[in-house]
């Protein structure tokens, strides 16, 4: 089963080191013998054993992307952008997924040792806890899409993300400014300590800034048993809200997926968007623009986050120093679901 470098050496009548040189594009080797060796390699179905390679190698020139939440709809785009940029730097790289319950630090640590990584990019995952454990990661890494409150010391680290609280506040501002005074929110679960919490805080801030009181009845939390930001959950939450007959003239969902479900529920109940209820989401997923009516949302600068994450990582690899974390601006897409084509709807 296992063809090894030794077998190839024997077949070619050369030493193993010569084969190794041929395989790894080493300079000091006779082009002819190299050609000959590579040919027999091809014919022999020889596949080098990466474990042995990594074990011996000291310098790898490779980085890994560790993806936590597969569900996240814009990770696909980010991964594509990152791949391109990393390849351009002549680095090898690979993408690996982690299960929901897999620990990000542990797998990172393993991977670093196994592959002799130069750096890591984390996509998703929660880095607000685990602070001491994170310190164990000794290669540069950047957290993409989520931020640290403060960078872990003793690490070479950074983050690239949007400022969830501020951007959330802005989109709720927008709702206020179009005249709404009774704004409901589809939030994440009560225990959430991550971006869901931040977006809810942004909502609260915006209301206060506009002199509106926060009516807890208008805050719909995600069920703690199923905390995914899904259309289904958005639908359910909105149905429930409608049943309560709490008054509201606008809804802000902290995720575009949820907002789609919410729209379905509203339309089913005969509500018009935005005439009866204005609607806004968050994230900037493509299909909010394709929905009828087009849905207002806060668009994450997905490609820019990806690009800068890679940029910063290479920077840190070179300087061996942490870089300041970066908040990139999201852009408010004002669309029909809140403006209805006009600038203001509610003006009571």
Q: What is the dihedral of CA 309, 315, 318, 322, to 10 degrees?
A: -80
Residue 62 CB, shortest distance to a second copy, in Å, is 13
Contacting range for a second copy; rule: CB under 8 A; set: 28-36, 95-103, 177-185, 218-226: 95-103
Establish if 153 lies at the interface with a second copy (CB under 8 A). no
Residue count of the chain: 348
Mark 24-63 with x for binding to DNA (rule: CB under 7 A) and - for no binding.
x---xxxx-xx-----------xxxx--xx-xxxxx----
Establish if 76 lies at the interface with a second copy (CB under 8 A). yes
> What are the tokens at 204?
């609260």
Cα 145 off chain centre by: 5
How far apart CA 244 and CA 160 sit, in angstroms, is 40
Site for a second copy (CB under 8 A): which residue of 10, 35, 39, 80? Answer: 80
Residue 45 CB, shortest distance to a second copy, in Å, is 6
Query: 236: burial class by Cβ within 10 Å (0-12, 13-18, 19+)?
Result: buried
Establish if 16 lies at the interface with a second copy (CB under 8 A). no
Return the one option of DNA, a second copy, none that residue 344 interacts with (CB less than 5 to 8 A, by type): none
For 219, left (φ over 0), alpha (ψ -120 to 50), or beta? beta
Residue 234 CB, shortest distance to a second copy, in Å, is 9
Establish if 130 lies at the interface with a second copy (CB under 8 A). no
How far apart CA 145 and CA 243 sit, in angstroms, is 35
CA nearest 35: which of 44, 25, 45?
25
Establish if 50 lies at the interface with a second copy (CB under 8 A). yes
CA nearest 102: which of 62, 128, 69?
69
- Name the residues that contact a second copy, by CB under 8 A: 1-2, 45, 47-55, 70-71, 75-76, 79-80, 83, 87, 94-97, 99, 109-110, 112-115, 136, 138, 230-232, 235, 260-261, 263-264, 267, 286-287, 290-292
């Amino acid at each position: 089963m296992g063809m090894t470098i030794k077998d190839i050496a024997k077949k070619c009548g050369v030493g193993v080191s010569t084969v190794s040189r041929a395989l790894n594009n080493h300079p000091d080797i006779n082009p002819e013998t190299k050609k000959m060796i590579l040919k027999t390699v091809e014919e022999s179905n020889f596949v080098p054993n990466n474990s042995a390679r990594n074990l011996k190698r000291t310098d790898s020139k490779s980085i890994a992307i560790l993806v936590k939440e597969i569900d996240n709809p814009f990770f696909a785009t980010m991964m594509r952008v990152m791949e391109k940029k990393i390849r351009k730097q002549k680095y090898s790289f690979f993408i690996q997924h982690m299960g929901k319950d897999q620990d990000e630090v542990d797998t990172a640590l393993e991977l670093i040792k196994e592959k002799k990584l130069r750096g890591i990019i984390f996509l998703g995952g929660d880095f607000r806890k685990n602070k001491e454990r994170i310190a164990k990661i000794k290669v540069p890494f950047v957290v993409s899409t989520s931020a640290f409150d403060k960078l872990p010391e003793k690490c070479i680290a950074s983050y690239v993300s949007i400022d969830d609280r501020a951007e959330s506040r802005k989109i709720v501002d927008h709702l206020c400014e179009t005249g709404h005074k009774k704004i409901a929110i589809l939030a994440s679960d009560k225990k959430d300590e991550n971006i869901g919490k931040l977006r809810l805080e942004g909502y609260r801030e915006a209301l206060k800034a506009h002199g509106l009181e926060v009516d807890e009845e208008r805050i719909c939390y995600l069920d703690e048993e199923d905390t995914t930001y899904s259309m289904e959950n958005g639908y359910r939450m909105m149905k429930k809200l409608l049943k309560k007959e709490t008054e509201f003239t606008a809804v802000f969902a902290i995720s575009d997926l949820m907002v789609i479900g919410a729209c379905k529920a509203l339309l089913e109940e005969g509500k018009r968007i935005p005439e009866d209820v204005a609607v806004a989401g968050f994230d900037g997923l493509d299909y909010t623009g394709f929905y009828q009516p087009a849905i207002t949302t806060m668009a994450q600068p997905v490609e820019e986050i990806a690009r800068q994450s890679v940029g910063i990582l290479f920077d840190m690899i070179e300087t061996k120093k942490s870089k300041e974390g970066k908040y990139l601006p999201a852009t408010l897409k004002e669309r029909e679901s809140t403006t209805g084509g006009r600038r203001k709807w509610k003006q009571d």
